[in-house]
Chain A
Amino acid sequence: MEILEEKKNKNRKYKPILDRIPDWPVYQLSKNRKEFIAEVTQKSAERIRELRPSYKQLIDDLQATAYREQNRIKRNRWRVDPKDDSSFWSKVKNDLVDLSSKDLDEVRPKVDELLERIVHRYASEISGNFKPTSYRFAREAIKFWFSRLLNGARVKKFGAFFRNQYTLRDKIHIVGKVKMIRKLARQGTVVMVPTHFSNLDSILIGWVIHAMGLPAFIYGAGLNLFNIKIMAYFMNSLGAYKVDRRKKNLPYLETLKMYSNLAIQKGAHSLFFPGGTRSRSGMIEKQLKLGLLSTAIEAQRSLYNSEGEQKKIFVVPVTLNYHFVLEAPELIEEYLHVKGQDRYFPENDKYGSFQLVRFLIKFFSNRSNISVSIGPGLDVMGNYVDEEGNSLDSHGRIINTKDYFISSGQLTVDRQREDEYTRMLSQRIVTEYHKINRVFSSHLVSFIAFTMWQKKYHQLDLFNLLRLPEEDLEIDYQEFKTVFKKVRKQIYLLKEQNKINIASHLKGKSDIVINRGVENVGVFHLNRPLLKNKKGNIITKDLSLLYYYHNRLVGYDLEQFI
């Protein structure tokens, strides 16, 4: 295979902004883990009581919670679930049953105790366990093994396995506002919100944070990842807290939000995937989950309301760009399955430790690179900030973020207002994703090929189109090239307008770029989404997969040029 290098990689090594791990907020948090959990428990319980002012409502909610938890234990058990899950919840249920025969005055303290017990359990479940020793070990292990893999695969010489010619920095390109995020992390608390395409994202982003010289972030990782033992080890040591998407009950959600909220308030840089789960369709997320996002806004308001230092919170959107997503076949299958019928779909991961390692070997031996675009810093209202952390309006005037929370001269707590702010912030993040998204050659060729077929069979709906036999699908190369040039030109135009970003390998002779794209798109899948046949024409072996990779460029209105 031809060597598909990016332009000479300028990535340099960044010095850590805080040298000593004990200075890191995440370390402080885990050192005082017990106190922190107690605080989360107390404040979450307060919030829940505020949301459910009458005891009757509260009891209803607790009953529903117990019922759902028992249901979950029966139907959908995971390896990470605690051993006493079943006994704990049946005790809760029995206690609730006992309550029904008592009168209200007797019931009250019991209900409070129950609520506290449940919330405390949740808080402990969620809480991460950052240990400096295992963090250092994990960091070094990742670095060591990844470079072994890289060098072993790339340098074709005896003993290459132990060379250090390539490092992770050659594999993973960090582009964008790195300097800015480093500066912001010194002045305030950073909340990083990346797009989410693959389970690998979590580890990748952990490395990226370290490579930028930032202290470890705490991050909300799906509990399902902890099912995979290797992952669990790394995640734990990188400062992850656990988000269990099976639990949709009020006490859990409030506890989770409070956990994130308080951690941010304490200055722990945080990361969560606001899309919720991996993008099933391969599209850049358009709808973000507002729950965790709202905690950034709430934390900021609480900080402004507090006596102490009024630290600012910065939101930093990040996009991860791959040529290849390991789980793409399953993801797109799920997506197509549920499309149109909005029903719950359980997460099922077919990947264990073995598959993961195999994938990593494949991944590192391949030439295809990953790029991570760091977006500009935003305040919690989605305004751009400058390097000093000042929020700016569209004319570059400085805004005082605190003013957003002021009514009649007073800082006020208005949940409806903050819900609205969260919605606004999420829209801003989505816009920013589209701007910093880096177009890879593989995205572009997939997009063009799929759209060309879609236009050719415009009378078919998506599902019928995907059912077409692959033999019927062939695009004349010259025709493809003409369209490619046209669309690439449009992308250049978009880039000039600052609406998208491109990988440097996208430039150059169209033949080369097209080849690069075709060779790289979904390179490890059993059935390749795009290939050239003997005549040199473009064909596909898996149209659904092609659809998945094509989706990456949906939302830029590029279809009109094809």
Chain B
Amino acid sequence: MLAQNRKVLLYARNIDHVNEINQRRTHLGYAIHEHVEAVNDFAELAHECEVIFPMVPSQHFRAMMKQLAPHLHPYHMLIHGTKGFDIALPKGETIETAKKLDRSVVKVMSEVIREESVVVKIGCLAGPNLSRELALRQPAASVVASHFNEVIQTGKKLLKSDRFQVYENSDIVGVEIAGVLKNVIAIASGALSGLGFGDNAKGLLISRGAVEMVYLGRALGGDTKSFLGVAGIGDLVTTCNSPMSRNFTVGYRLAKGEKLEQIIADMREVAEGINTVRIAKKCADHYKVRALITDRLYKVLFEGLTVEEALEFLMRYPLNMDIDFI
């Protein structure tokens, strides 16, 4: 999409991938646009480009930033599309052993960028963007969120097309958190499908899931409104309906009775949602937020609860207020 009107440099760690892209113009079977050139050197990338879109899984994001940071200057703009949390725990501690998880250790990617580099013009890209559909030029939209109008306008200019709408949001943390938390609900959605349930169940899950995202998101520093927009509800509905997504698959196979270890072993990349459940649960405990779905899902993933039991618990829970956050 970026390559429609301009030259794009694509960084790849693996030099073979760089050569493959530059010589055969394909990568993992996908055709690569003629305007795209692959590079293997952060210095070159930072020197040539003023706007950079980091799209790296959250567990590698900080490491990537550490490598890139020495080449960055305050005039650079970074608009990321990573949907996960970064956690910085003292050595030897894990999410489970840590006494508590709060926002001093749980960071969104924009904060990682700030901590690791001098870049301040930071943006985030989030929304229902399944690459397969984008490639077919089906209509879609995204949110560019940033504190800086300049970043939003640049992001818009670079991405907007007649098939791709771009919305603006100044609550970058809210948009980032929405993108992260929806992965939790996506796993739950997969689980419902795995149990063979239909659209009523899904409607129930998505609406209650959205409420849970708002609660937890607000505790973590997001604004309610962001969770109701393209990056919140928009992305949530898409991910919950997309059997191809990794998070959905995890839930689906869990419901079919597989163990988490088996599922992870089969997957090429870790589904962000699994880690997110661990973090979100611990955060919910710390901030005393009621997050029933996350909590049950945690028990299913790590404490041997079955999906049926979790569902039964949720259906019996005596909580009847529909919406109480607006």
Contacts and interface: CB of A to CB of B under 8 A. Distances in A.
A300 to B, nearest CB: 13
A393 B148 contact: no
Interface residues of A, number: 21
Interface in A127-142: none
Interface in A267-295: none
B118 interface: yes
Interface in B86-122: 115, 117-118, 120
A417 B50 contact: no
A416 interface: yes
B73 interface: yes
Contacts of A397: 70, 118
Contacts of B150: 407, 414, 416-417
A400 interface: yes
**Which of B73, B74, B148, B150 has the most C-beta atoms of chain A within 10 angstroms of its own C-beta?**
B74
Q: On chain B, which size bracket covers the interface?
A: 10 to 19
B313 interface: no
B120 A400 contact: no
Contacts of B115: 394
Interface string B44-61: 000000100000000000
B308 to A, nearest CB: 41
A381 interface: yes
Contacts of B74: 381, 399-401, 403-404, 406
A393 B149 contact: no
A462 interface: no
Contacts, number: 41
B147 interface: yes
A468 interface: no
B70 A417 contact: no
A420 B148 contact: yes
**Which of B50, B73, B115, B118 has the most C-beta atoms of chain A within 10 angstroms of its own C-beta?**
B118
B147 A420 contact: yes
B197 interface: no
B148 A416 contact: yes
B75 interface: yes
A424 interface: yes
A472 to B, nearest CB: 31
A357 to B, nearest CB: 48
A401 B74 CA distance: 8
A341 interface: no
Interface of B: 50, 69-70, 73-75, 115, 117-118, 120, 147-150
7 contacts: A393-B117, A393-B118, A397-B118, A401-B74, A403-B74, A416-B149, A424-B120
Given A404-B74, A420-B147, 9 more contacts: A393-B117, A395-B69, A403-B74, A403-B75, A408-B50, A416-B148, A417-B148, A417-B149, A420-B148
